[in-house]
């Protein structure tokens, strides 16, 4: 991991890298560098994209995209790499990484649906899980699911109650 | 390797091997004729022992699904420190995780092995959890029970499933041990016995609190205990102190000598040790060196009213503090050279150092309360003058006269208060080598332990002994368990169940105490009325006897015409209304002269109440 | 590019060939599938959102519900992540018990898979055996944890209760019962010529393709790659145990199910070893008071080998009493969403269920 | 077969027929489905109770709603339910359809199933054990005997309101109403013969 860290710092500038105690590599990069560094890491043997995740840092008004890479073969190492980048929350847009990792497709679709992040050049940013339309994508921090339940589900009356005008608890 | 992995194409005939199972016993369970018992740990419907349940509501708090609501049961008459609320479970929410069982401090909530409830009406899916002990109707024995009718209201008796286990509970049953000076060392001097928690220990202890708030109901002054403990856990003792000062202006005193009614009812104490609420309060007051800067409180604008507080005990200090914050001018009179009242003379130095008292008193003085020490009302200043000069008066005089046993030669015995007072703020007393203390209360323990220390100081290296004699046996001894344990550890001898008959005196010197065996302490109505076996006697040798059997108030400073108008309750306590006002105009009272609970925190509660009453009274006039 | 003969076919969620609440939209031309697109979301509950509203301990009964077929690995991965963030040590014995539970649940899950697959291919007898044997394992779970399906047993700090008395013998008895049936299973199912004919060359995927599409678990191992997180990043006590990672070369449904079979046998070996090596002692290090417990800020990604592949959890804490972000990387996610789509291309309609079950797609895991 | 059951057969052969051949829809709606394979296979063998899974809803008259119902599934459930021939019975499994259960605050699961389709019986548990499923079947028998399992009649009578509730969630539904909505009163008149 330390060797990899050195190599990355040689090639890419302005990135923050830390190696954690348990042998993970955490890389913070600017969003322009993500694709390049993903290609680089893939060549270095980190050829399995485990997960693309997103964190909503609502106070900082940013989304943090997280790419977790693991190697398929043990030669490349045993740990995993967490690659993080921040994008703006107001206008969440990012480039797709399908050209590098094909399995990014459903993950990006999910983030598009649940966080409202648009991935440019993604072949099908259609609905994945949801049935109803949500004004705020439900996984954002400002979407209050308990409030939503009160507004939507609890307002629907019981069928018996409609005729008999009673209220079931 | 390659060979091993080569794919076999398999056989067509071999599968017919399976035909042999035709001739074997079928594996089908012929349910419901052939029944299968759920495992002993099965997590089914809830059981709740209503007698053990304290209504703390921890189960409702931990439930991830909000399936548990606490329902008030009017029929239950709660024991002190308990609530008459019991959990009601909604099986349209419950996920049978059993977290409620693992958090239940008294261990009353369990899961049974019943799991049948099939109904067309969703409203039947809520259940007030009970068990076979309290609910005979719905819990049936094996003969009456039928699985075809099984439901939430048709359940099997003694069908325990997943039960609570302290080893795996979600709460910590054991207290963080309080660092203490060992008995061998502490009995030799008046060094403070309890050292106090460090930051780490306090945080760890504060973490144990489950925030059920049973303690807040039990505390006479209703301190916001769970809030200030939470603030300690979060590492903010200043915040914690602010919370304490909302109800109690003398935390350094209270954090040391409070009777801790809160700890008696702490739900963790049901099966483990209660949270050390008192020590945490003490930690908060010790951690903050300068109250004034931390609290940042300023008295309100001066209202032009003047209040006299007689007695600078806990009650008096509280009244003074709260009235001063409301903008009244307060003068406190006390005959002692410093504040604290009984706290200054009563608790021995190893429990309550003078510095701690002064810390609280000085803070209250710094707010602008005027203290007049060494002034005895009735002697140095007349009560009539005060009565005329001030707009309101608070009597927080406490009980200042020791009661006597009135047995033969009891004039040779020391009264407890005199003994304590002389030791702490007087000239000191020469103790005997064999001291006998009569009494089984906390004062008796203080006296005995103090006498022991004096013996060790005055007769270093010699053989000395302190004995106590009390009417009450171990089980009803009024002193707290902690005190008794500490006293025992220091080597004090106990003689419970014996009553004094006579103090033997030879040539004007005390030789010992003659005791009789106690038959009973209370009569049938529960009143104090001891009876003795006259024939069973015991002689205790000793050269000093101290009587610590209780105190009485001294009203001699009040002129007769006023005193006659002062009303008393049947139990000889001053009668006050809900604002703390007595039958005398503009005179309020609180503390030991009003209460049956003779302790500091009740006096504080009285003081707080009276402060509000006085404020109302002053604003009305 | 749609020809006139093409039409759209909705496959599932209410369909005999579908296991689980999942659906696929197929574009078919005659019997041939031109394009398939998976349509998940029938079981979406928004777990990761709900978990942000619950405290660390309250989440613990939640996580196992994500995957009903194998809840224990879910509990394990959550417990591991929380332990890592909060720095909680787990007693040695608890680790052994965890391993036993995980392997038992792997066994149960694989038997469930055998049931589904055998049912799908028409081997009803084998399906009944598999389901019966799974039920025996559920009985063990009930004995150990107090519930048949949702065990809520592995939690941060260790396990919830120690093994009950006589549990070892019960496990060994059950394993013996199942083990003695392996020749029958082999004869009736795995070595059955009909099975070979029905499963061979169905849903074939090459190793390169599988890697590209993010496959893990038996889907990858059936292509010959020894990729098992129990070996690469050992957790619990897997580094102290001796077991093999079974692989096959062909990458088709037949190989996958054979890998499953071999894995079951390895699981039995692991459980036996655990019982032999298990020390005595505590099984639970108490976690702090659940009402006040705050996990230090930080992030972690932990992964375990579930019965279907890599199960990961990305957990972020901001130092509060609730998680800030939870994201599960479930093995069925790539399998069910892109590998399935890929394999269904040019397959025939009759093989949809066959391929889907051979990939071990578990719908609740995808939807979460 | 004892005398009472012969009597029952003679008196109401249709009811007895329905009772002992409850065919369940093959639809895994939620996590409760995990206990259904054991129930229908050899260990518990639901066929002893006449319960077997049916291939299509057209052949089935028992609908097991196994656990939580997400919005997307609810749509499928309504369609499946409407496809089933009468008489049809629904049974809700576990906590979730009763009052939301584990997912009481989820934005994507419904909390009360009986707001959208009628439910004849509920089984407590999370999940319900196979035994509970069998006892539920025996309860359903009793209900059919007594004519209490009338969910499908209620659906017909109050279809207007059910449809209203459904459309509150999904907007306009893409399939036409099962029963004419305006002529609700007319339908009510002839329910008894069909039951």
Confidence of residue D194 (pLDDT cuts 50, 70, 90): very low
**Does D181 score more than 70 pLDDT?**
yes
State the ipTM, two decimals: 0.81
Which positions ≥6 away from B385 have C-beta within 8 Å? Answer: none
Shortest Cα distance, chain B CAs vs residue C160, angstroms: 7
Shortest Cα distance, chain D CAs vs residue A154, angstroms: 8
**Contact flag B41-C58 (C-beta cutoff 8 Å):** no
**Does D192 score more than 50 pLDDT?**
no
Nearest-by-Cβ selection for C149 from D27, D35, D56: D35
Shortest Cα distance, chain A CAs vs residue D9, angstroms: 33
Confidence of residue D190 (pLDDT cuts 50, 70, 90): very low
Nearest-by-Cβ selection for A105 from C324, C338, C367: C338
Nearest-by-Cβ selection for D70 from C42, C50, C132: C42
* pLDDT at residue D195 in the model: 35
Does residue D177 belong to any structural domain of this protein? no
Spatial CA neighbour of A8 closest among A30, A35, A21, A27: A27
Nearest-by-Cβ selection for C248 from B5, B39, B167: B5
**Contact flag C187-B15 (C-beta cutoff 8 Å):** yes
B contacts of D129 (beta carbons < 8 Å): 38, 115
Instruction: Show which of residues 103-122 on chain D sit within 8 Å of chain B, judged by CB atoms.
Output: 104, 112, 114, 119-122
The pLDDT tens digits for A77-124 are 777 888 888 888 888 888 888 888 888 888 888 888 888 888 888 888
**Does D188 score more than 50 pLDDT?**
no
**Contact flag D110-A157 (C-beta cutoff 8 Å):** no
With CA atoms as reference, the chain B residue closest to C51 would be B64
Contact assessment for residue B367 and residue B283, using Cβ atoms and an 8 Å cutoff: no
**Contact flag B167-C284 (C-beta cutoff 8 Å):** yes
Contact partners for chain C, using 3 or more CB pairs closer than 8 A, are A, B, D
Instruction: Show which of residues 105-134 on chain A sit within 8 Å of chain D, judged by CB atoms.
Output: 129-132, 134
The pLDDT tens digits for A33-80 are 788 888 888 888 888 888 888 888 888 888 888 888 888 877 767 778
Shortest Cα distance, chain B CAs vs residue D100, angstroms: 6
**Contact flag D37-C131 (C-beta cutoff 8 Å):** yes
Does residue D172 belong to any structural domain of this protein? no
C-alpha pair distances (Å), D25 with each of C230, D28, D178: 40, 9, 19
With CA atoms as reference, the chain B residue closest to D89 would be B120
The domains of chain A, with CATH numbers, are 2-129 (3.30.460.80)
**Contact flag D72-A134 (C-beta cutoff 8 Å):** no
We find that the CATH architecture of domain B300-398+553-620 is 3-Layer(bba) Sandwich (3.50)
Spatial CA neighbour of B313 closest among B264, B349, B276, B347: B347
Quote the CATH superfamily of domain B189-294.
Alpha-helical ferredoxin (1.10.1060.10)
Q: Is D38 on the interface with C (CB under 8 A)?
A: yes
Confidence of residue B357 (pLDDT cuts 50, 70, 90): confident
- Domain assignments of chain B as residue spans, ordered by start: 32-170, 189-294, 300-398+553-620, 401-551
Contact assessment for residue A68 and residue A49, using Cβ atoms and an 8 Å cutoff: yes
B contacts of D101 (beta carbons < 8 Å): 65, 92-95
Q: What is the mean predicted confidence (pLDDT) over C88-109? A: 89
Q: Is C211 on the interface with A (CB under 8 A)?
A: yes
**Contact flag D121-B115 (C-beta cutoff 8 Å):** no
**Contact flag D115-A134 (C-beta cutoff 8 Å):** no
Contact partners for chain A, using 3 or more CB pairs closer than 8 A, are C, D
The domains of chain C, with CATH numbers, are 6-367 (1.10.645.10)
Shortest Cα distance, chain C CAs vs residue A72, angstroms: 7
**Domain B32-170 has what CATH class?**
alpha beta
E-state strands within B232-358: 306-310, 329-333
Q: What is the DSSP string of B501-528?
A: EEEEEETTEEEEEEEEEEEEEE-TTS-E
**Does B423 score more than 80 pLDDT?**
no
Q: What is the mean predicted confidence (pLDDT) over C285-293? A: 85
**Contact flag C290-B103 (C-beta cutoff 8 Å):** yes
**Contact flag B115-D95 (C-beta cutoff 8 Å):** no
Please tell me if the domain spanning B300-398+553-620 has the same topology as the one spanning B401-551: yes
Contact assessment for residue B573 and residue B592, using Cβ atoms and an 8 Å cutoff: no
Does residue D129 belong to any structural domain of this protein? yes
D contacts of C148 (beta carbons < 8 Å): 35, 127, 129
Mode of pairing for the β-strands spanning B551-552 and D121-123: unpaired
**Contact flag C131-D41 (C-beta cutoff 8 Å):** yes
**Does D191 score more than 50 pLDDT?**
no
Q: Which domain holds residue D44?
A: 21-148
Which positions ≥6 away from B205 have C-beta within 8 Å? Answer: B175, B176, B197, B275, B276, B279, B280
User: b/e map of C330-347 (b: 16 or more CB within 10 Å)?
Assistant: bbbbbbbbbbbbbbbeeb
State percent of chain D over pLDDT 70: 91
With CA atoms as reference, the chain D residue closest to C69 would be D34
* Residue in this structure with the two tokens 């829809």, named with its chain if needed: D25
A contacts of C316 (beta carbons < 8 Å): 55
Contact assessment for residue D65 and residue D30, using Cβ atoms and an 8 Å cutoff: yes
C-alpha pair distances (Å), B599 with each of B329, B344, B468, C264: 27, 14, 22, 70
d(CA D173, CA D164): 10
Confidence of residue B128 (pLDDT cuts 50, 70, 90): confident
B contacts of D43 (beta carbons < 8 Å): 27-29
With CA atoms as reference, the chain C residue closest to D41 would be C128
Instruction: Show which of residues 205-264 on chain B sit within 8 Å of chain C, judged by CB atoms.
Output: 206-211, 230, 233
**Contact flag C303-A128 (C-beta cutoff 8 Å):** no
Report the run of H or E that residue B85 belongs to, with start and end: strand B85-90
CA atoms within 13 A on the CB side of C110: 25
The pLDDT tens digits for D55-98 are 888 888 888 888 888 888 888 888 888 888 888 888 888 888 88
Nearest-by-Cβ selection for B32 from D122, D123, D134: D134
D contacts of C134 (beta carbons < 8 Å): 38
Q: Is B38 on the interface with D (CB under 8 A)?
A: yes
Nearest-by-Cβ selection for D165 from A145, A154, A159: A159
d(CA C32, CA B240): 73
Does residue D178 belong to any structural domain of this protein? no
Spatial CA neighbour of B340 closest among B257, B225, B237: B257
Nearest-by-Cβ selection for D34 from C16, C128, C149: C149
- Could you give the 3-state DSSP secondary structure of residue B435? strand
State percent of chain B over pLDDT 70: 98
Confidence of residue B497 (pLDDT cuts 50, 70, 90): confident
With CA atoms as reference, the chain D residue closest to C39 would be D72
Q: What is the DSSP string of C107-135?
A: HHHHHHHHHHHHHHHT-HHHHHHHHHHHH
With CA atoms as reference, the chain C residue closest to D45 would be C128
Which residue of C292, C293, C322 to mutate against B (max B Cβ within 10 Å)? C292
Which residue of D24, D27, D33, D41 to mutate against C (max C Cβ within 10 Å)? D41
**Contact flag A72-C338 (C-beta cutoff 8 Å):** no
With CA atoms as reference, the chain A residue closest to D76 would be A131
The pLDDT tens digits for B24-78 are 777 787 777 778 888 888 888 888 888 888 888 888 888 888 888 888 888 888 7
**Does B408 score more than 80 pLDDT?**
no
The pLDDT tens digits for B427-441 are 777 777 888 888 888
Q: What is the mean predicted confidence (pLDDT) over B548-552? A: 81
Does residue D188 belong to any structural domain of this protein? no
* pLDDT at residue A166 in the model: 52
Domain count, chain D: 1
Which residue of A105, A113, A129 to mutate against C (max C Cβ within 10 Å)? A129
CATH of B401-551, one of 3.50.50.60, 3.40.50.620, 3.10.20.30, 3.40.50.150: 3.50.50.60
């Amino acid at each position: 991991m330390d060797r990899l860290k050195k190599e990355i710092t040689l090639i890419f500038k302005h990135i923050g890298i830390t190696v954690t105690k348990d042998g993970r590599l955490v890389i913070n990069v600017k969003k322009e560098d993500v694709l390049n560094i993903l290609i680089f890491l893939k060549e270095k043997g980190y050829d399995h994209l485990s997960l693309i995740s997103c964190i909503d840092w609502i106070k900082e008004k940013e989304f943090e995209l997280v790419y977790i890479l693991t190697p398929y073969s043990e030669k490349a190492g045993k740990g995993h790499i967490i690659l993080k980048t921040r994008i703006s929350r107001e206008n969440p847009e990012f480039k797709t990484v399908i050209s590098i990792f094909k399995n990014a497709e459903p993950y990006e679709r999910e983030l598009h649906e649940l966080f409202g992040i648009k991935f440019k050049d993604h072949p099908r940013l259609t609905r994945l899980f949801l049935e109803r339309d949500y004004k705020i994508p439900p996984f954002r921090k400002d979407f209050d699911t308990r409030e939503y339940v009160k507004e939507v589900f609890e307002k629907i009356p019981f069928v018996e109650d409609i005729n008999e005008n009673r209220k079931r608890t | 390797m390659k060979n091993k992995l080569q794919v076999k194409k398999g056989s067509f005939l071999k599968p017919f091997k399976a035909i042999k199972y035709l001739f074997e016993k079928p594996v089908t369970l012929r349910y419901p004729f052939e029944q299968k018992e759920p495992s002993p740990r099965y997590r089914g419907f809830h059981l709740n022992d209503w007698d053990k349940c304290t209504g703390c509501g921890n189960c409702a708090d931990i439930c991830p699904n909000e399936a548990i609501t606490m329902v008030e049961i009017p029929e239950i008459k709660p024991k002190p420190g308990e609530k008459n609320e019991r959990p009601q479970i909604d099986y349209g929410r419950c996920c049978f995780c059993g977290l409620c069982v693992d958090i239940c401090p008294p261990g009353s909530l369990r899961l049974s092995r019943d799991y049948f409830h099939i109904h067309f009406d969703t409203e039947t899916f809520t259940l007030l959890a009970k068990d076979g002990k309290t609910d005979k109707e719905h819990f049936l024995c094996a003969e009456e029970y039928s699985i075809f009718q099984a439901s939430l209201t048709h359940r099997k008796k003694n069908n325990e499933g997943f039960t609570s286990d302290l080893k795996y509970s979600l709460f910590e049953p054991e207290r963080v041990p309080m660092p203490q000076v060992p008995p061998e060392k502490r009995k030799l001097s008046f060094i403070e016995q309890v050292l106090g928690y460090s930051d780490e220990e306090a945080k760890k202890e504060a973490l144990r609190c489950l925030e059920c708030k049973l303690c807040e109901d039990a505390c006479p002054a209703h301190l916001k205990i769970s809030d200030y403990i939470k603030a300690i856990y979060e590492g903010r003792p200043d915040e914690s102190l602010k919370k304490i000062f909302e109800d109690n202006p003398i935390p350094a005193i209270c954090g040391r000598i409070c009777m801790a009614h809160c700890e008696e009812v702490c739900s963790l104490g049901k099966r483990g040790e209660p949270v050390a609420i008192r020590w945490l309060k003490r930690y908060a007051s010790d951690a903050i060196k300068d109250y004034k800067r931390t609290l940042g409180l300023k008295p309100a604008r001066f209202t032009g009213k003047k209040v006299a507080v007689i007695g600078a005990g806990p009650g008096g200090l509280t009244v003074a503090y709260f009235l001063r914050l409301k903008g009244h001018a307060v003068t406190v009179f006390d005959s002692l050279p410093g504040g604290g009242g009984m706290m200054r003379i009563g608790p021995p130095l190893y429990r309550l150092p003078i510095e701690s008292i002064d810390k609280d008193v000085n803070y209250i003085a710094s707010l602008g309360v005027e203290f007049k020490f060494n002034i005895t009302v009735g002697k140095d200043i007349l009560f009539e003058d005060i009565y005329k000069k001030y707009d309101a008066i608070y009597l927080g005089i406490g009980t200042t006269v020791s009661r006597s046993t009135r047995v033969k030669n009891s004039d040779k015995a020391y009264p407890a208060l005199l003994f304590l007072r002389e030791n702490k703020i007087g000239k000191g007393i020469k103790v005997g080598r064999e001291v006998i203390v009569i009494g089984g209360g906390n004062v008796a323990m203080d006296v005995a332990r103090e006498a022991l220390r004096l013996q060790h100081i005055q007769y270093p290296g010699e053989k000395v002994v302190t004995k106590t004699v009390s009417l009450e046996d171990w089980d009803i001894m009024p002193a707290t368990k902690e005190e008794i344990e500490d006293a025992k550890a220091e080597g004090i001898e106990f003689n419970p169940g014996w009553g004094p008959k006579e103090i033997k005196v030879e040539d004007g010197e005390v030789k010992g105490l003659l005791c009789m065996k106690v038959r009973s302490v209370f009569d049938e109505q529960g009143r104090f009325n001891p009876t003795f076996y006259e024939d069973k006697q015991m002689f205790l040798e000793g050269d000093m006897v101290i009587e610590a059997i209780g105190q009485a108030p001294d009203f001699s400073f009040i002129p007769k015409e006023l005193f006659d108008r002062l009303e008393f309750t049947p139990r000889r306590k001053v009668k006050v209304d809900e604002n703390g006002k007595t039958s005398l105009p503009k005179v309020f009272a609180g503390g030991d002269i009003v209460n049956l609970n003779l302790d500091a925190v009740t006096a504080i509660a009285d003081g707080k109440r009276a402060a509000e009453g006085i404020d109302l009274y002053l604003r009305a006039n | 590019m749609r020809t006139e003969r093409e039409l759209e076919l909705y496959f599932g969620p209410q369909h005999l060939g579908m296991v689980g609440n999942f659906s696929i939209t197929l574009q078919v031309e005659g019997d041939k599938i031109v394009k398939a697109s998976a349509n998940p979301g029938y079981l979406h509950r928004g777990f990761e959102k709900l978990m942000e509203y619950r405290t660390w301990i309250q989440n613990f009964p939640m996580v196992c519900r994500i995957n009903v077929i194998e809840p224990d690995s879910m509990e394990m991965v959550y417990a591991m992540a929380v332990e890592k963030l909060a720095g909680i040590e787990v007693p040695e014995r608890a680790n052994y018990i965890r391993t036993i539970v995980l392997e038992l649940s792997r066994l149960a899950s694989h038997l469930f898979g055998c049931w589904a697959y055998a049912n799908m291919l028409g081997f009803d007898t084998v399906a009944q055996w598999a389901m019966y044997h799974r039920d025996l394992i559920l009985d063990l779970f009930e004995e150990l944890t107090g519930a048949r399906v949702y065990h809520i047993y592995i939690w941060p700090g260790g396990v919830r209760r120690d093994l009950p008395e006589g549990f070892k013998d019960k496990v060994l008895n059950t394993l013996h019962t199942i083990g003695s049936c392996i020749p029958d299973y082999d004869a009736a199912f795995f070595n059955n010529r009909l099975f070979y004919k029905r499963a061979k060359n169905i849903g074939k995927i090459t190793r390169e393709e599988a890697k590209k599409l993010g496959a893990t678990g038996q889907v990858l191992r059936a292509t010959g790659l020894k990729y098992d997180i129990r070996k690469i990043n050992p957790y619990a006590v897997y580094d102290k145990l001796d077991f093999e990672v079974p692989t096959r070369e062909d990458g088709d449904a037949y190989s996958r199910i054979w890998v499953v079979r071999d894995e079951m046998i390895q699981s039995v070996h692991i459980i036996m070893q655990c019982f032999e090596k298990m020390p005595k002692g505590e099984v639970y290090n108490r976690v702090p008071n659940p009402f006040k417990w705050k996990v230090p800020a930080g992030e972690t990604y932990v992964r375990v080998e579930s019965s279907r592949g890599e199960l990961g959890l990305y957990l972020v804490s901001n130092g509060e009493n609730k998680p800030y972000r939870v994201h599960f990387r479930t093995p069925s996610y790539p399998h069910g969403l892109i590998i399935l789509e890929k394999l269904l291309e040019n397959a025939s309609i009759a093989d949809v269920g066959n391929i889907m079950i051979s990939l071990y797609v578990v719908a609740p895991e995808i939807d979460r | 077969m004892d005398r009472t059951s012969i009597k029952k057969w003679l008196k109401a052969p249709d009811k007895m027929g329905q009772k002992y051949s409850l065919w369940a829809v093959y639809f895994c709606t939620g996590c409760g489905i995990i206990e259904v394979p054991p129930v229908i296979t050899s260990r518990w063998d639901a066929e002893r109770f006449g319960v077997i899974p049916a291939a299509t809803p057209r052949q089935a008259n028992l609908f097991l709603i196994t656990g939580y119902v997400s919005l997307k599934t609810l749509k499928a459930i309504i369609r499946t339910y409407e496809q089933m021939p009468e008489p049809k019975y629904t049974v809700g499994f576990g906590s979730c359809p009763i009052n939301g259960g584990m997912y009481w605050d989820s934005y994507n699961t419904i909390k009360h199933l009986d707001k959208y389709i009628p439910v004849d019986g509920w089984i407590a548990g999370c999940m319900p054990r196979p035994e509970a499923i069998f006892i539920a079947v025996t309860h359903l028998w009793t209900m059919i005997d007594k004519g209490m399992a009338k969910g499908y009649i209620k659906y017909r009578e109050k279809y207007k309101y059910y449809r209203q509730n459904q459309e509150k969630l999904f907007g306009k539904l893409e399939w036409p109403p099962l029963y004419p909505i305006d002529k609700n009163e007319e339908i009510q008149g002839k329910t008894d013969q069909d039951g």
